[in-house]
A and B are shown apart, each in its own frame.
Chain A
Amino acid sequence: MPSAIRSASPRQNGITKLTNCRLVRGDALVWDDVWVSSATGKIIRSQSAFYDELTMPDEVINLGGRIVSPGFIECQLNGAYGFNFSTATDDMAQYGKQLRDLNKQLARTGVTSYIPTVTSQTSDLYKKVLPYLGPSGSSRRAHDGAESLGAHVEGPFLNPTKNGVHNASILRVASSFSDLEEMYGAANITPFPGTQPPGSPIDSPSSSSSSSSHSTPSSPMSNNNLNGIPIKMITAAPELGAMTSLIPSLTARGIIVSIGHSEATYEQASTAVAAGATMITHLFNAMRPLHHRNPGIFGVLGVAETTQQQPQSQSQSQSQKKSQQPIEGREEEEEEGAKKQKKRPYFGLIADGIHLHPATIKIAWHAHPAGLVLVTDAMHMVGLPDGRYAWTNGEGEHFIVKRGSVLELEGTGAIAGSSITLIECVNNFLNWSGASIPQALKAVTATPAAMLGVEGVKGGLDAGADADLVILSEEVGEEGRTELVVDEVWKFGVRTFERGSSVVV
């Protein structure tokens, strides 16, 4: 007897199909469907699921032409909703609780993963808080909200002349790797002290997420997977002490080295980049300005090197960044001579309209479009009313005054971070630069993912990636501004936020 199989399959497979939507794919918006699984937390290869597992989605959601972006990745966040990563509490259990609350709230803004940033602090504080800030790794619970990819320590090996709001008195100079271990705590910077072979493959949260964790859930390290170390990124001034020579030791541990709060000249910055620095922390802020006779750190975004032919080097570094179809033969030939300039670092820009002029942002973007990472550098005053807020800054009592979106360190007039959200940065960038929507979204998804070495897992919509999604609608705001609005946030294949809905995670 011939019979058709009913599509109403009784078993639930946790698969949702999002249809009638535009996906951010590279520099384009592509009309396509995306299938996500809440069981695996990943974007699934729909064709294989159909032919191999004979599965059909439990639910089909028609998005009515809205945009589906990978979840945003924030690379410079000091705190939010009244919680500062750099402020330890007497009872550290309270710290953990506040952190979890922050993660849930942060996810509602579209930020599904981030690297919590700890400013220049004393060694004690680093050792206290870093274990809590490590990568979430194998704990893949959708309703936990935003996920840490590891901590970003912004200091204290910074140049005192470019301290910004960091307390100059606690800034240090590193002369050997043990200085770093001493400052942050060896366990926070070196996995399994003594066993890490130099130059071993970078252990990113992604590659190790599959490995099982044997730690108990109650310990602060519970979120860390086997090889994960809490620190993912270090901002340092390469011109000080032996920092440049320490870069290879850091990168061998899978730690991203970012140049920032620095007086580095163009030459010093180039040397640091050649040594393995791959990021610049809030470009233009807390560094020498571009000078026409010495472009300083900004100069490394250029591609000029007298030994190279300009057009070739341009395309070379582009393809290098995208790691797509490098022309291998030529690449090898030029490897030695061009090594310095071939690697152009990624760079963070604070697009809040206060830290940088819109034209500056546009120039930087045009200098190196594939390297742009939009960051907020937001403080814990994000989401709080105007007022005077206490701030831990090494030693002593400090206060930051919030007036609208402007934050100032009390008594100095120095800009003390921002109180902007990442989607606002994207909207600012979108309207200032003339970038397309996918180009703007790339600066908070694919580019930071590549910078952190988690491409293929985060920041993309290809099959196999984590199903962290942001669903955006386009609205035309005042003066014809295009505004992207976060309508829904999906984490690990589960919808955790819906605008206008009272459902909270």
Chain B
Amino acid sequence: MRFFIRDDAAAASAHVANYMVDRINHFAPTPAHPFVLGLPTGSTPLGVYKALVERYKAGEVSFENVVTFNMDEYIGIPRDHPESYHSFMWKHFFSHVNIHPSNVHILDGNAPNLEAECVQYEAKIQAAGGIDLFLAGMGEDGHIAFNEPGSSLASRTRVKTLAYGTILANSRFFNDDLDKVPKMALTVGVQTVLEAREVVVVALGARKALALQRCVEQGVNHMWTLSALHLHPHSMIVCDEDATLELQVKTVKYFKDIEQVARAQGFEQILPSKFPIRPATLPTTIVTDEFPAPTIHSPQPTTSRLLRATPATEYPLRSRSPSPDLIPRHLRVTPDTEYTQDTEYSVISRSPTPDFMPDRMASRIGEPGLLRRSTPNPAQGLQQHQRSRSPLQNLTPRTNIMT
């Protein structure tokens, strides 16, 4: 999980908006291959939408080939009710950008068959090729979308009864009249969010501090549904200083430090993919129980292995996870770079974390005879030893995968 702390809400929102704009632009969406965006509502993402609209008006991003899926919608209030999420999205985002209405998907809270609506929604997400980036906010109780505490972490799009606290909190938008507040909603599930290729969460203000602490410092917990994000290979949380109130100083410092170090290394984790990811050229996703080699090639989408109920890879992934982005540029192997022995800088074909290197006491003695004698398969042992020492030999097959 990547975790960014910004000084205030505006800076945090701007960070997220920049990230999204970079993502969309480097994806270079086309009508045949649109960028699929998951979108939230509520007060938290307002700043992000505002920043996105500004970027659009400045001509820095186009939503022409962007497909959107919204997280949730109330049941039983008219679609054009000022508090409906249709109205919210129209007012704060859709009316200001060039997104085409046919590319906009919001759950219909007035559908005759709500269950069918949910099933269709999941089908639509799959038909669109899955969500490339899911933007999310976080509830005070750590909920993501309307997945209130106690929701299954394997949940999918469904009808959800709202918690009393949420109804109470929402009543401020309905003249403080509890009777007018919708009691039910349609929402995507935790699993639906986790299946996105990337999840970006915004948490702003002191009111979110406790939930943020639970979700960042503690483990996966169904009572703080956003904590399921730990199971996602490529998630990101952006918050302001106020939201860090409950975090340990150590945690805050840790994340600030690695951001600083990463930046110093030219590795800001906003490295956009150089290659537009296209379905045709994609290799099949590798999901096996055994890791192929002691060297970790790149992070693989293994989310579903921890949530067996519904594998994350039900639909074909178009990307082998966002791996190209995670490797610093100067460490990345690109097809247009020919590495020879003359290459000045050292090329490391593995992730920055140290490799597992098989080590035996016998190898330290410096007596080859001893090593050979006590090793069941001395040839293999030596070969392995060599391979980990000379990474260049491994370059060729990996380069092929990347192209």
A residues at B contact (CB < 8 Å): 1-7, 33, 45-48, 50-51, 54-56
Contact = CB atoms under 8 A, between A and B. Distances in A.
B101 A2 contact: no
A31 to B, nearest CB: 11
A2 B100 contact: no
A7 B64 contact: yes
B86 A2 contact: no
A56 B86 CA distance: 16
B25 interface: no
A56 B99 CA distance: 9
Given A48-B80, A51-B79, A51-B86, A6 B100 contact: yes
A50 B98 CA distance: 12
26 contacts: A2-B33, A2-B129, A3-B31, A4-B34, A4-B64, A4-B67, A5-B100, A5-B102, A6-B31, A7-B64, A7-B98, A7-B100, A33-B95, A46-B90, A46-B95, A47-B86, A47-B87, A50-B101, A50-B104, A51-B79, A51-B101, A51-B104, A54-B101, A54-B102, A56-B98, A56-B100
Given A7-B64, A33-B95, A47-B86, A55 B101 contact: yes
Interface string B118-153: 000000000111000000000000000000000000
B109 to A, nearest CB: 13
Given A48-B80, A51-B86, A56-B100, A4 B94 contact: no
A462 to B, nearest CB: 13
Given A4-B103, A55-B101, 17 more contacts: A2-B127, A2-B128, A2-B129, A4-B30, A4-B64, A4-B66, A4-B100, A5-B31, A7-B99, A47-B86, A47-B87, A47-B91, A50-B90, A50-B94, A50-B95, A56-B98, A56-B101
Interface in B238-258: none
A47 B64 CA distance: 18
Closest 3 CB pairs of A and B: A4-B34, A5-B102, A54-B101
Contacts of A47: 80, 86-87, 90-91, 95
Contacts of A55: 101
Contacts of B94: 50
Nearest to A8: B64
Nearest to A50: B101
Contacts of B157: none
B36 interface: yes
Nearest to A47: B90
Nearest to B84: A47
B91 to A, nearest CB: 8
A21 to B, nearest CB: 13
Contacts of B65: 4
Contacts of B36: 2
A3 to B, nearest CB: 5
Nearest to A46: B95
Contacts of A2: 32-34, 36, 67, 127-129
A34 to B, nearest CB: 11
B29 interface: yes
Nearest to A55: B101
Contacts of A33: 95
A3 B32 contact: yes
Given A47-B80, A51-B79, A56-B101, A4 B90 contact: no
Interface in B3-61: 29-34, 36
A10 to B, nearest CB: 13
A356 to B, nearest CB: 43
Nearest to B99: A7
Contacts of B86: 47, 51
A396 to B, nearest CB: 62
Contacts of B95: 33, 46-47, 50
A196 to B, nearest CB: 38
Contacts of B99: 7
A398 B87 CA distance: 62
Contact of A51 (B66, B90, B100): B90
Interface in B358-389: none
Contacts of B79: 51
A6 B64 contact: yes
A3 B80 CA distance: 27
B90 A5 contact: no
B236 to A, nearest CB: 24
A19 to B, nearest CB: 8
A3 B31 CA distance: 5
A84 to B, nearest CB: 47
A46 B31 CA distance: 24
Contacts of A5: 31, 100, 102-103
Contacts of A50: 90, 94-95, 101, 104
A51 B86 CA distance: 8
